[in-house]
Structure 1
Amino acid sequence: MGTMTLAVSRHGHACVRIERAGRALVVDPGVWSDLTVLDDAEVVLVTHEHPDHLALDALVARATAGLPVRAPGPVVAALEAAGAPADALRTVASGDELDAAGLRVRVLGERHVVIHPDLPVPANVAYLVEDLVLHPGDSYTPPPAGTAVDLLLQPLGAPWLRLGEAADYVRAVGPRRVVPIHDALLSDLGRGER
């Protein structure tokens, strides 16, 4: 990935680890993720409050042990209500820029894709790491104009996902590479076979 070599690995469903020079951040460790990925992470970024992206009890325990968590307001509120210490939590919103495990992260977007008109639309942010890796959570949030995304972490299976919209999103972002995420519903787990 250019001069800024990043290692990106998947850890179940929408959970990814992004690291450089032995320092790592984790995005969206949810209930279908391999949560051992948190063992040596320096910070966790959460896109939104759905349990497939937020393993609440595990993150409360990790935040209590000192692992910083960055997330939209509703996620921070849920973590605090479940007992996570406020000093381990930080609310992020579109337009924020942060240092996470030595990596520059831009926070983009505001809302989850509509699942159904009768259901509430939660807050959802996307994370753009080093202007190279884009994790949109459950959204079609585009990168800023002129950003040459190297790797798009593209949701593959979800109640809100429509194939044509997903294809249009990939075209609009124009990444060099696409790695599918958000795929538990298409696995043995999603079929109730494990």
Structure 2
Amino acid sequence: MQVVHFGHACVLLTTDSTRILIDPGTFSTGFEDLKDLDAVLITHQHADHLDVEKLPSLLAANPQAQLIVDEGSADQTENPTVARPGDIFKVGDTTVKVVGGHHAVIHQDIPVIPNTGYVVGDGAFYHPGDSLFVPDEDVDVLGLPTGAPWMRTGEAVDFLRAVKPRVAVPIHEKTLANPQMAYRLFEMLKPETSEVRPLPPGEETAV
């Protein structure tokens, strides 16, 4: 699988037969001119995961692409397929399983919104959105949240240890002034069988 990290939560996954973009949000750049997408997946409605101003033109340039969104993002998008935990979709020859269901708690006074994680390709890649939900499937490559108002670094490390991917690709880093500090802790505390691999922004990388 080829992965491009466009910064923060946005990643492009390319297999032999499919191109799937996940969470094109306002903190991410470089995804705007993508072509030949088979699907765009949205984990939840927050702007750093869903850029409602750029999404329409992205979809217009990719009329064949499925738009799959969580329940909370449905009214912010046009003609989406709504994803609910337990759903399984086919994007070309690639399976996408929906897991989780709820955004992590930021504060008791802030309502919890829907959040769908996506397990792509029978565990080839897992994007949890804004949650630390551990799926039942074995995960080869994990999009590992690096920093967020709803998370401590120690919680991310415990999530990494619970999922035990072959490779952890740090994402959701734009809330931190120095994400490299978290990367060093991930490397220090990761499972022995896992590799932590920050990706060069905007570059296609085989993982």
State the TM-score, normalizing by the size of structure 2.
0.78
Question: Is the contact made by 2:126 and 2:142 (CA closer than 8 Å) also made in structure 1?
Answer: yes
- 1:141 has 2:139 as partner: no
2:110 matched to which residue of 1? Answer: 119
Structure having greater relative contact order (Cα 8 Å, sep ≥ 6): 2
Runs of 4+ residues over 4 Å off in structure 1: none
1:57 equivalent in structure 2: 53
Instruction: Indicate whether 1:91 and 2:82 are aligned.
Output: yes
1:177 corresponds to which residue? 167
Helix, strand or coil for the counterpart of 2:157?
Answer: helix
Letter in 2 for 1:136: P
Which of 138, 141, 146 is 1:151 aligned to? 141
Residue aligned with 2:118, SS: strand
Post-superposition offset of 1:44: 0.2
User: Are 1:132 and 2:89 counterparts?
Assistant: no
Deviation at 1:37, TM superposition (A): 5.7
- Contact 1:17 / 1:37 at 8 angstroms: preserved in 2? no
Q: How far off is 1:115 after superposition?
A: 0.6
1:61 shift after superposition: 3.1
Unaligned runs of 5+ in 1: 1-5, 189-194
3-state SS of 2:81 partner = strand
Q: Contact 1:15/1:28 (CA < 8 Å) preserved in 2? A: yes
Residues 142, 172 of structure 1: 8 Å contact kept = yes
Deviation string 1:68-96 (CA, Å, 9 cap, x unpaired) is: 210111211111xxxx3x2xx10011000
CA RMSD for the aligned pairs? Answer: 1.7
Cα offset, 1:62, TM superposition: 3.3
Contact 1:94 1:109 in 2 (8 A): yes
Distance 2:4 2:67 in 1: 19
Q: Distance in 2 between matches of 1:151 and 1:64?
A: 30
Secondary structure of 1:125's counterpart equals strand
Deviation of the 1:63 alpha carbon? 3.6
Amino acid at match of 1:175: P
Gaps of 5+ in 2: 179-207
> How far, CA to CA, are the matches of 1:168 and 1:70 in structure 2?
29
Within 5 A, what are the aligned runs for 1:16-31? 16-21=11-16, 23-31=18-26
SS state at 1:184 partner = coil
1:35 deviation in Å? Answer: 2.4
Which segment is superposed worse, 148-157 or 35-44? 35-44
Aligned residue runs from structure 1 range 25-44, under 5 A: 25-33=20-28, 34-36=30-32, 38-44=34-40
Question: Percent identical across equivalent pairs?
Answer: 38
The answer to whether the aligner puts 1:72 opposite 2:64 as a matched pair is no
**Contact (CA 8 Å) 1:28, 1:46: kept in 2 or not?**
yes
